[in-house]
Chain A
């Protein structure tokens, strides 16, 4: 179970990730590879966080948080998925299955994050409309502006709190029902294949596949050299 200290740190990480996504400073700490690993480290399994973060990162590698476009908030969603999966007891195979189910649970959580982003921007409309040229001092401008940044943090915390609380009930139940019929290795073959395919698909147009093929050949060549030389 997650203790109070871990909850506090996780909520702060979720706030930081939600802020970094669009509000600032956009250092890409919010990317699933980083946020997933960070969440895994907080709950004591950084490797699990890295694996889940990597999968989400690759599948959503074409996502662009451009302007006021609404996008699926997988950045906070993956923290929730990692926390829920890390809390699952059982064998290695059982846990692998739970990681897959937690990735699926991430989708509705990310949708909630998207809804809260919309609400956040509507609230920012109100905040900005209160700035009057007649009375706005530099400090007033800074506080109103950074108010939007703080709201983004609250949005991340709310998404995580909801996602983890409900996920702790739903994910174990779904995992238990899938254990007799689903093989975790095949489920992860599908997830990893999807990640690789998406990465290729979204970058294909840069060279009509030539650079992609070159990368694949280089990797295969190095692997063959490594295997035979070793």
Chain B
């Protein structure tokens, strides 16, 4: 990566950094249609304002600046929060005199790419990966699956929350380069591949072990046929991003219809 101001970043106290990163876990508490995560962003940046010891006038201007629009994926939101904290610090110290609406416009402009990159990393790849891995372990080892899901996802999210704040603080207005960086793009591909591998294994384990554990009987030709047809149908619906409710109704409907047909045939 090119040196986009990495070396010149001033120090920020650990307690301030910790304060922002921990608060970012509650970024969406007051999620709303008007300003999206605006109050959440302000709530997260309060430790920065307290550290900068803003006077009454500056505090009012600070609050006004962050009540506009802010929206991000919650797990990489510290990237935007770090950049905004850096802008506030530079503005306060006079290192970078800014027009009154610069920070507000920067915040709004950053929202769409932060959301898109974070969603493709966390919601589309890391969450399915951990959820499917956890489900696979749950099928094989019961409650351990929950531990895998919770600990694995916590490791991902807190690593990213901590690192992205550092990147945002260091890069400031240049934070856009980070959104194209391999550190946010490559893990999504790897997590996606792991999720797909787990999904393949899950179908086999569900059929060979899960069914027997749930119903208490080994699958016969009737239940095998229902399982396979339901899996193919749901696979097509899932690939087409159709609503999962239709898949559930289809799978249950298939079981009910098969039961009635077998009843009528006397089997």
Max chain A Cβ within 10 angstroms of own Cβ: one of B49, B203, B227, B240: B203
Q: Which residues of B contact A204 (CB under 8 A)?
A: 196, 199, 235, 238-239
Secondary structure of the B side of the interface? helix
Tally of A interface residues using CB under 8 Å: 97
B134 pairs with A124, CB closer than 8 A: no
On chain B, the number of residues with a Cβ less than 8 Å from chain A's Cβ atoms is 116
Which of B34, B219, B262 sits near A189, CB closer than 8 Å?
A: B219
- Interface-lining segment among A82-90, A159-167, A194-202: A194-202
Q: Which residues of B contact A46 (CB under 8 A)?
A: 143
Q: How near does chain B come to A205, taking the closest CB pair, in angstroms?
A: 7
**Does B132 belong to the interface (CB within 8 Å)?**
yes
How far does the alpha carbon of A193 sit from the alpha carbon of B250 in the complex, in Å?
11
Cα–Cα, bound, A34→B150 (Å): 9
Report the separation of the CA atoms of residues A192 and B259 in the bound assembly, to the nearest whole angstrom. Answer: 16
- Given A34-B146, A138-B49, A181-B263, A23–B200 Cβ distance below 8 Å? no
Could you list some 29 contacts between A and B, CB below 8 A?
A26-B157, A33-B131, A34-B150, A46-B143, A47-B142, A54-B135, A68-B31, A92-B216, A96-B215, A103-B248, A127-B32, A128-B35, A128-B39, A131-B67, A141-B46, A147-B30, A185-B223, A186-B256, A188-B255, A189-B230, A193-B227, A194-B248, A195-B206, A196-B203, A203-B192, A203-B195, A212-B196, A215-B198, A215-B200
- Nearest 10 CB-CB pairs, A to B? A201-B238, A215-B200, A197-B234, A193-B230, A194-B251, A148-B30, A190-B255, A24-B26, A197-B231, A206-B192
Residues of A within 8 A of B (CB): 22-29, 31, 33-34, 37, 46-47, 50-51, 54, 57-68, 72, 92, 96, 100, 103-104, 107, 121-122, 124-125, 127-129, 131, 133-134, 136, 138, 141-142, 144-149, 152, 178, 181-207, 209, 211-220, 223
